[in-house]
Structure 1
Amino acid sequence: MLASALALGFLGSLHCLGMCGPIAFMLPLDHDNIAKKTSQVFIYHFGRMLAYGSIGIVFGFLGKGLSLFGMQQKLSIAMGVLMIILVLIPSKTFNANIISKPVYRWLGKLKSKLGAELKKKTPDTFLTIGFLNGFLPCGLVYMALIGALAVGNPWQGGLYMILFGMGTIPLMTATVFSRNLIGNAIKSRIRKLIPVFVILIGALFIIRGMGLGIPYVSPKQVQTPMASSTIECHQP
């Protein structure tokens, strides 16, 4: 399941370019020193990974809380179904702006801080920009967070989001160094693959929740002592 996060990030890189690309292009990079420029770009990515990992841990805790009530498998199925529904519903019916607009209002101060950091050239600014960038609303990040919630473990949730972020690094980095690296025809084909892959990930979460006894994919539910124990009352 963790491998799906890396693949989702890689295939969704083109979407990330649309959302985060303008920020990456405005980074105050040292274009005269290729080594310094490369380190600055990766510090920016490291900041994004910190943000994604932090959010993933929070959502993993939420998933763990639900799993303590014996709902982890049901949660996995529900999150898988939600992923598929969000892809299949026509964009006219469900618009990500319904979610992102109010979030943008709440994060107005964050955007102002991000704009101020883009004007600086201090060593720490790239880490700060990347970290703040990681908290900006994004439909693909929402999909990854559904996966982090479904794993039902804070550390695996954090790892899930970090792997998702790492998947976006190759294409975003290549684009910063060469904006015309990928032709429009290839971009169009990859964009068409994104919803298909999200559906496949949703199906994996559904299969995982069914407990079919498939190693690493759909393990059988293990009944914990807490769930199986009974309280015995002894009459005097």
Structure 2
Amino acid sequence: MIEYNVGGAFIVGLMGAAHCFGMCGGLIGAFSANIPTNGQTRLGTQLKFLLGYNFGRIFSYTVAGAIVGGSVSALGHLFDVDSYLIFLRIFAGTMMILTGLYIAQIWFGIVHIEKLGKILWRYLQPLTRKFIPITHPLQAVMAGMVWGWLPCGLVYSTLTWSVASGSALQGGLIMFAFGLGTLPALFAAGLAAKTLAQWVQKRAVRLFSGGLLVLFGLQTLYIAFNQLN
């Protein structure tokens, strides 16, 4: 089932571009506008810093996925959690369906999940001031690692799949795939590219991508319910 979750996570990141623009587009745009050129071409310097920022951000996603997946795996050595994993997979499949409905712009309740992360972000947000202004690619990496914990409904819903994977490796891979999927949107935000944003917001594209995720979710539920029997 892991291949379905990895593929689904990548699609969530890719097709959640409109959400990414709203959550992080302003941050990336401001960050990109103040990148020092140091005599290099503007585009070349932007790409270097954007790569650093996004590497840090995806690293944080991967660590989060590995932590939650590994925690379930560790508990499995102490308790019999196999039956609980089935229910976690049911929950993960349900979240996949709800995320698909969100991407298809049919149901928007998933954004309320972001409120859960505001408590943690309250403590992490002051750290971002230590990296501003960003004058070196390493600072961009560190800033990305902090901003990777910015409250985001799409991140949290995808993390439920990492939990249900019951493995640090698989949990990390799921979130890594999600992070890769978000790259086009956030690179476009940093480079002020609008073509991608216009394309992913087309109704047909969003319906197709959301429908694909719903199918992934139904497949996950089908497997989980079969394990109950």
Normalization by structure 1: what TM-score?
0.75
CA shift at 1:192, angstroms? 4.7
Equivalent in the alignment of 1:125: 139
Distance 1:44 1:192 in 2: 30
In structure 1, runs of 5+ residues without a counterpart are: 212-219, 222-236
Equivalent in the alignment of 1:69: 81
CA shift at 1:102, angstroms? 5.5
Distance 1:183 1:143 in 2: 22
Matches within 5 A, 1:139-158: 139-158=153-172
CA shift at 1:180, angstroms? 2.5
Distance 1:175 1:95 in 2: 23
Q: Which moved more, 1:167-176 or 1:53-62?
A: 167-176
Distance 2:193 2:182 in 1: 15
Give the counterpart of 2:51 among 42, 56, 69. 42
Q: Which moved more, 1:126-135 or 1:103-112?
A: 103-112
In structure 2, runs of 5+ residues without a counterpart are: none
| Deviations, residues 70-97 of structure 1 (Å, cap 9, x unaligned) | 2233321232124435758954xx4634
State the one-letter code of the partner of 1:159: L
Distance 1:186 1:146 in 2: 24
State the one-letter code of the partner of 2:219: L
Equivalent in the alignment of 2:187: 173
Normalization by structure 2: what TM-score?
0.77
CA shift at 1:155, angstroms? 0.8
Equivalent in the alignment of 2:127: 113
Distance 2:72 2:93 in 1: 14
Instruction: Describe the SS at the equivalent of 1:55.
Output: helix
CA shift at 1:37, angstroms? 2.2
Q: Is the 8 A contact 2:13 2:178 kept in 1?
A: yes
Equivalent in the alignment of 2:10: 6
CA shift at 1:207, angstroms? 2.4
Change (3 A) 1:176 1:208: same
Equivalent in the alignment of 1:60: 69
More helix by proportion, 1 or 2?
Answer: 2
Equivalent in the alignment of 2:35: 29
Distance 1:120 1:85 in 2: 37
Distance 1:126 1:80 in 2: 35
State the one-letter code of the partner of 2:56: G
Distance 2:152 2:139 in 1: 22
| Deviations, residues 82-133 of structure 1 (Å, cap 9, x unaligned) | 4435758954xx4634x43453244223222224423231332100111111
Is it true that 1:205 corresponds to 2:220 in the alignment?
A: yes
Overall identity of the aligned pairs, in %: 25
- May I ask how many residue pairs the two structures share in their alignment? 210
CA shift at 1:197, angstroms? 4.0
Larger Rg: 1
Instruction: Describe the SS at the equivalent of 2:194.
Output: coil
Equivalent in the alignment of 1:233: none
Q: Is the 8 A contact 1:8 1:197 kept in 2?
A: no
